[in-house]
C-alpha cells in the first residue's frame, strides 16, 4: 500500500465522533442507537475498502471530513423510510411481466384485501357449524363452478402446486413425462429439478419433437406413480412434431389405475379465440378430457393474485390435501380474498375481459389502444416540451409470463425523442422517478406501449416527462 493510502486510512473519521454529530442532529428520532452505530461502521468500512481497493489514483472524496460522513449515514438511515416495493407504470407492452408483478389486481380484490386484513376473519372457521373450517373452502365452490372440477386446492404459486402434486401422488415412484415437455419456466423452475425435489423419479419418454401414446404405454410399470403432461406455455415446438393427446393419456391412466396430471401453467378460464387470439386450452376443457388433476397460476391469464390452483377429481385432491407439504406451501388470507374477488368476475364471461386488467390488455381492440396513444400525444403537445419530439408507431405487444409465446398482439406506441438527451439516459431517468416508468428503448427514442398503460396512467407519463426535462 502506498503512503498516500495509508495516510488516508489514518484520517478516516472515528465512529464516536460521527455519532456525536448525529446525536446533536437528533438522529435517534429516526432510528435506535444500534442501527445508527451499525450504519456508521458500514459507511466507514465502505470508505476503507475503496481506499484499499481502488486501482486508480484516488480523488479527494476518498478522504471526507466527519460532517460529510455523518451526512452520508443520515442519508442511509432516511433511505430505510423509503418504500422499496412500489407501484410502477408498465409501458413495455409485456402484459404479464413477471419482473413487474404479473397481473394487476381488480378494484374489488383490493377492497377485499383491506376488508379482510383490517379485522379478524373466518379464514379457517365455519360460521354455520361454529367449528374449524378449511381456508380453501372460500374459493373452491367458485373454482369448481367455473371449471367443472370436483374439488379445488390453492397453494402459494403454480411451482408449489406442481411440487405438491408430484410429491403427493408419486413420491419414491416414477412420473412419466415426454422429453418435449421437460421445460424451464424461468427463475429456476425446471421440471426435472422440481421432480428431483419432490422425491419423484423422472421417466422420460419419446424425443424432443415426437412422443406417441405407445411411448407412455411402454414406460408404465409397477414403479409408475403418475403420468404428467406439461403445457409448453412459454415456447412451441413446431414442424415435424407429434404428441399424445390428452384424452388418450387420460384413458390410458384410467385403464392402468395411474393418475394423470396436466400442468397448464397459464390457466385460462375463457375462450381466447373469441378475441382473435390463439387458442389456449382452458381449464374446463382440459378437465373434460378426463385428466385427474390440473395445475395453473393465479396471476397469469387468470389475471389475479399470485397463487397455484390445483383442480380435479375428489379422491385425488383428498390425497393431495393430506400431504404435509401442503401446510408449508399454504396460501395466505390476502391472496384468498383477492382471488375470490377476481374469480367472481368470471361469472360474467363476457364482462371479465373488460374488468380484469390483464385480460383487458390482452383482448382490447387495437383501435382503442390507438385512441389512447393519440390522446397522449395531444396532451403532450399541450405542454412546453420544446426539446421533445413525439410520434406514433404501430408494433406488437406480448402476453409475457410464459403465456401465448408466439402470439403477436398488435399495439400502438408513442415514441419520444429528446434533442438533448440520449434515449438510454431518458430511460434511466424515467425508471428512477418517484412513480417509475418502465419503457422500451429503440436507438435514439424511448417507446411507450399504450397496450399496458391505462387511461388513468397517462398523467404519470406526462408528469414523468416533465420531471426529467427540468
Ligand atoms: C408459469 C408456469 C409454472 C410456474 O408457475 P408460477 O405460478 O410462476 O409458480 C409452472 N408450469 C408452467 C407450465 C408454467 O407456465
The confidence score (pLDDT) of residue 299 equals: 96
Domain ranges in the chain?
3-79, 89-96+361-468, 106-352
CATH 3.90.1150.10 fits 106-352, yes or no: no
Q: Is the dihedral of CA 432, 436, 442, 447 positive or negative?
A: negative
CB of 281 within 6 A of ligand 1: the answer is: no
Say how many Å lie between the CA of residue 453 and the centre of ligand 1.
25
Would you say the CB of residue 230 lies under 6 angstroms from ligand 1?
Answer: yes
Ligand 1 geometric centre to CA of 265 (Å):
4
> Which residue, judged by its Cα, is nearest atom 11 of ligand 1?
265
So what's the pLDDT on residue 233?
65
Report yes or no: 75 and 69 within 8 Å, Cβ to Cβ: no
Three-class DSSP category at 288: helix
Residue ranges in the chain modelled with pLDDT below 50:
none
Nine-digit cell at 412?
A: 400502438
CA distances in angstroms from 81 to 25, 84, 334, listed in the order given? 18, 9, 24
From 265, 283, 309, 404, give the residue whose CB has the most ligand 1 atoms within 8 Å, as the site to mutate. 265
pLDDT at site 242: 81
Ligand 1 and 263: CB distance under 6 A: yes
Task: Tell the CATH topology of 89-96+361-468.
Answer: 3.90.1150
| pTM: predicted TM-score of the whole model, two decimal places | 0.92
Q: Tell me whether domains 89-96+361-468 and 106-352 share a fold.
A: no
Q: Tell me the DSSP string of 183-209.
A: -EEETTEEHHHHHHHTT-EEEEES-SS
What pLDDT sits at residue 238? Answer: 73
Amino acid at each position: 500500500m502506498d503512503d498516500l493510502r495509508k495516510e488516508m486510512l489514518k484520517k478516516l473519521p472515528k465512529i464516536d465522533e460521527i455519532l456525536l454529530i448525529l446525536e446533536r442532529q437528533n438522529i435517534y428520532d429516526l432510528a435506535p442507537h444500534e442501527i445508527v452505530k451499525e450504519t456508521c461502521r458500514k459507511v466507514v468500512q465502505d470508505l476503507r475498502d475503496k481506499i484499499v481497493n481502488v486501482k486508480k489514483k484516488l480523488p479527494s472524496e476518498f478522504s471526507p471530513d466527519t460532517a460529510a460522513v455523518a451526512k452520508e449515514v443520515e442519508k442511509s438511515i432516511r433511505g430505510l423510510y423509503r418504500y422499496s416495493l412500489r407501484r410502477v407504470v408498465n409501458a413495455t407492452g409485456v402484459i404479464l411481466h413477471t419482473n413487474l408483478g404479473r397481473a394487476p389486481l381488480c378494484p374489488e380484490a383490493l377492497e377485499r384485501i383491506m376488508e379482510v386484513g383490517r379485522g379478524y376473519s373466518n379464514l379457517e372457521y365455519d360460521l354455520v357449524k361454529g367449528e374449524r373450517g378449511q381456508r380453501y373452502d372460500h374459493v373452491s365452490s367458485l373454482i369448481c363452478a367455473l371449471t367443472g372440477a370436483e374439488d379445488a386446492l390453492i397453494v402459494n404459486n403454480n411451482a408449489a402446486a406442481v411440487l405438491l402434486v408430484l410429491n403427493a401422488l408419486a413420491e419414491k415412484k416414477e412420473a412419466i413425462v415426454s422429453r418435449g415437455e421437460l421445460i424451464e419456466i424461468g427463475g429456476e423452475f425446471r421440471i426435472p429439478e422440481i421432480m428431483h425435489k419432490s422425491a419423484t423419479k423422472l421417466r422420460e419418454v419419446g424425443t424432443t419433437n415426437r412422443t406417441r401414446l405407445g411411448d407412455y404405454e411402454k414406460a408404465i410399470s409397477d414403479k409408475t406413480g403418475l403420468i404428467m403432461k406439461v403445457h409448453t406455455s412459454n415456447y412451441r415446438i413446431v414442424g415435424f412434431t407429434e404428441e399424445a393427446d390428452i384424452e388418450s393419456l387420460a384413458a390410458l391412466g384410467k385403464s392402468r389405475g395411474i393418475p394423470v396430471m396436466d400442468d397448464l401453467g397459464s390457466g385460462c378460464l375463457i375462450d381466447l379465440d373469441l378475441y382473435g387470439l390463439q387458442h389456449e386450452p382452458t381449464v374446463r376443457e382440459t378437465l373434460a378430457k378426463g385428466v385427474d388433476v390440473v395445475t395453473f397460476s393465479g396471476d397469469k391469464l387468470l389475471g389475479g393474485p399470485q397463487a397455484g390452483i390445483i383442480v380435479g377429481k375428489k379422491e385425488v385432491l383428498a390425497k393431495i390435501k393430506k400431504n404435509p407439504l401442503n401446510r408449508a406451501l399454504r396460501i395466505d388470507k390476502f391472496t384468498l380474498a383477492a382471488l375470490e374477488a377476481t374469480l367472481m368476475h368470471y361469472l360474467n364471461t363476457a364482462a371479465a375481459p373488460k374488468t380484469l386488467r390483464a385480460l383487458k390488455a390482452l383482448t382490447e381492440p387495437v383501435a382503442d389502444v390507438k385512441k389512447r396513444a393519440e390522446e397522449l400525444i395531444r396532451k403532450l403537445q399541450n405542454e412546453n416540451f420544446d426539446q421533445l419530439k413525439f410520434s406514433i408507431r404501430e408494433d406488437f405487444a406480448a402476453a409475457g409470463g410464459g403465456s401465448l409465446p408466439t402470439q403477436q398482439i398488435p399495439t400502438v406506441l408513442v415514441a419520444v425523442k429528446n434533442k438533448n438527451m440520449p434515449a438510454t439516459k431518458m430511460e434511466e431517468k424515467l425508471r428512477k422517478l418517484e412513480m417509475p416508468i418502465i419503457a422500451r428503448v429503440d436507438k435514439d427514442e424511448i417507446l411507450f406501449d399504450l397496450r399496458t398503460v391505462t387511461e388513468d396512467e397517462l398523467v404519470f407519463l406526462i408528469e414523468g416527462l416533465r420531471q426529467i426535462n427540468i
